[in-house]
Chain A
């Protein structure tokens, strides 16, 4: 189109994958902010750079987080995105919705904002993309009236998220959705009023497949596991083999610890050698199931690059019972101890994993009252630069 105002973006309306440009264009006739977002984005595509001003501190009364302020750096050209703030709404556990709830979100956002959203932000929140400072409080008031609260941002507890767990997965070792909802509510103050050295994320996966990437994307990862042997239905295994599964190549040889063997009729498990990686269960879900003594492993320290490179979470508690009946007391108790130590010792903008690395696991373990065990490391240290506690020497 020769007279198009967005010739570059228009090219992203073609092709089979659903187009975000079409989505913005759907809102443009109704919302000048969407029209100007498109215009400014076209300029970014021409110039190969963003056009948002640095930072922006806005929010709602009573909270210190939940809103990401954003201002255009070319407001004279695009006055309707001069202010274009994002509101993070706390998603329900597992991202399940009834259509009434989703329609309520749409109606309120049509009234107060750009009509554009992200479903969902990487941390899990419902992201309401673009409104003015003036609209923030009225938007929040109406959403809270309808039972929705803000999610986290800044140096606070960010919005916890979880996999769909027992709602729709036979692998789940505990009720991820209930735990996620419970922790979110128990720590509303920590979530809404930033008071820590930096952000802190909790993610909850029902099994080691880790469908919410808790080990990589949360400071405190709760990952389901079991203590006894996995459950084997021999008839079910034979059925897989009969139907053509190359069990030797695809299951036995792929077991990371060689814990499985197949004699042509029965699958044998050396239970003590199993590291619960999920591979055999993933391949034969009709025949194999996690054990019956279920709980979770807790891993600490996962984060992205800044500042000391990315960390994957590492084992802090190999097995914890996930106990709904005592209101998840053990987990909350551990979180309280971690936060108290980190709040006291963490530097400004230092993730808990970095604080632990700077001050040493031994100091951290003492503070949170956990004993060191071999499961915490891949291998022991190779250097002799070993610290001793004063009480250990004469």
Chain B
């Protein structure tokens, strides 16, 4: 019988001696080159960090390889970042280059620091979830292959965060990223009246709809969906297996831009709709990859130094963003949910 309520292992066991000794004493840091940081302590100690890209979905063999490298170069310690990268923590400067050489040999990319495109925060997709409108791992691999140079260098105006969610539950950071890829449905779900009454709790299903498109059907002991009110969020399917939303013909991908979470300069921002529809095209999703690459290039060519995607767009105005990017502006871009009017342009100030 297991011991319960013991919580996670204590973090102190997981810290290399140099961190234990300099905990809370760090004075400043520098990025020595893409993927390599040095933190300098008030005691004069220096800690070197080598940041490495990971596919997030990894086997135990991958982890054991990391452990071998950490044992060899880092006294047996390493960490993971909040964007799923791996960080090797070195107390000896002379170990940095040999570690990087060995990482290269193993095909593990070093980068993700400073004004780069770091790893993509992403979700389960067709690998493990039951509500996705697209895959996660496959698109991430395809986008990161195409934008690989931006992971390995720091030539963008500012950092650029890309994230992906395979449905609009938006697990992860899609609602607050510079560029976000989001799986969407485009057709109202189909109700299986036969088994709904035994599989689902009807009041919960009704309450799950943001636009109140679901009403009870007492005759059938089931529910009706008012199709013209449904915007295909799929939350009723989350609550009820008898409501089918997955539709390979129409499920697709949308692209969002301009979100951020840091408070630097401007307040945190939500990502906003840039491209309402791109097809699901496995295994390489070329339309999605091209669209993301185009947005990165347009941003890189036009933003000021130090300016995040959202800050650039807010400065030039969204009408200018659509003009410069060449993206089509459609009725889909105009908000029609609660408080939509706060996003309308209540001023005569705009550019032609």
Contact = CB atoms under 8 A, between A and B. Distances in A.
Contacts of B71: 99
A216 B128 contact: no
B49 A304 contact: no
Contacts of B254: none
Contacts of A8: 282-283
Interface in B96-120: 107-109
Interface residues of A, number: 126
A120 interface: yes
Q: B29, B107, B137, B238: which has the most chain A beta carbons within 10 Å? A: B137
A208 B267 CA distance: 10
Interface in A316-369: 347-349
A17 B63 contact: no
B58 A141 contact: no
Interface stretch (B219-227, B258-266, B293-301, B319-327): B258-266
B2 A140 contact: yes
A249 B63 CA distance: 44
A373 interface: no
Interface string B220-240: 000000000000010101100
Is the contact region of chain B dominated by helix, strand, or loop, or is it mixed? Answer: loop
A18 B109 contact: yes
Contact of B24 (A26, A137, A166, A255): A166
Contacts of A100: 76
A267 interface: no
A347 B207 contact: yes
Given A11-B284, A48-B282, A109-B60, A285 B29 contact: yes
B53 A18 contact: yes
Contacts, number: 348
Contacts of B142: 12, 15
Contact of B172 (A48, A61, A122, A308): A122
A149 B10 CA distance: 11
A97 B79 contact: yes
B145 A17 contact: yes
Contact of A20 (B10, B57, B172, B266): B57
A78 interface: no
Interface in A90-108: 90-103, 105-106
Interface in B124-169: 125-132, 135, 137-138, 141-142, 144-145, 148, 151, 168-169
A272 interface: no
Nearest to B243: A54
Nearest to A148: B9
B182 to A, nearest CB: 9
B204 A170 contact: no
Contacts of B280: 48
Nearest to A138: B2
A372 interface: no
Contacts of B137: 20
Interface in A198-248: 208-213, 215-217
Given A122-B121, A129-B128, A101 B57 contact: no
B276 interface: no
Contacts of B169: 304-306
A41 B238 CA distance: 21
Contact of B207 (A86, A170, A217, A348): A348
Contacts of B170: 304-305, 310
Interface in A1-47: 8-9, 11-12, 14-21, 23-24, 26-27, 34, 37, 41, 44-45, 47
Contacts of B54: 18, 119
Contacts of A184: 7-8
Contacts of A215: 261, 268
A192 B4 contact: yes
Contact of A50 (B109, B121, B126): B126
A296 B267 CA distance: 17
A192 B80 contact: no
B7 A181 contact: yes
Interface in A234-281: 249-250, 254-256, 275-279
Contact of B8 (A91, A99, A305): A91
B128 A209 contact: no
B255 interface: no
Contacts of A115: 59-61
A113 B186 CA distance: 37
B82 interface: yes
Given A17-B53, A103-B67, A309-B338, 12 more contacts: A12-B142, A23-B55, A70-B130, A101-B14, A118-B57, A149-B8, A212-B82, A213-B173, A213-B176, A310-B176, A348-B204, A349-B207
Nearest 6 CB-CB pairings of A with B: A15-B145, A54-B241, A17-B144, A304-B170, A44-B126, A93-B11
30 contacts: A11-B284, A12-B284, A17-B148, A37-B127, A48-B248, A51-B126, A52-B128, A53-B130, A63-B4, A95-B79, A96-B14, A96-B15, A99-B71, A99-B77, A116-B58, A117-B58, A119-B84, A120-B84, A122-B172, A137-B2, A149-B7, A161-B82, A164-B79, A168-B89, A169-B39, A208-B264, A209-B262, A210-B268, A216-B173, A278-B262
Interface of A: 8-9, 11-12, 14-21, 23-24, 26-27, 34, 37, 41, 44-45, 47-55, 60-63, 68, 70, 84, 86, 90-103, 105-106, 109-110, 115-120, 122, 129-130, 137, 140-141, 143-145, 147-149, 161, 163-164, 166-170, 172, 175, 177-178, 181, 184-185, 188-189, 192, 208-213, 215-217, 249-250, 254-256, 275-279, 282-283, 285-286, 304-310, 312, 347-349
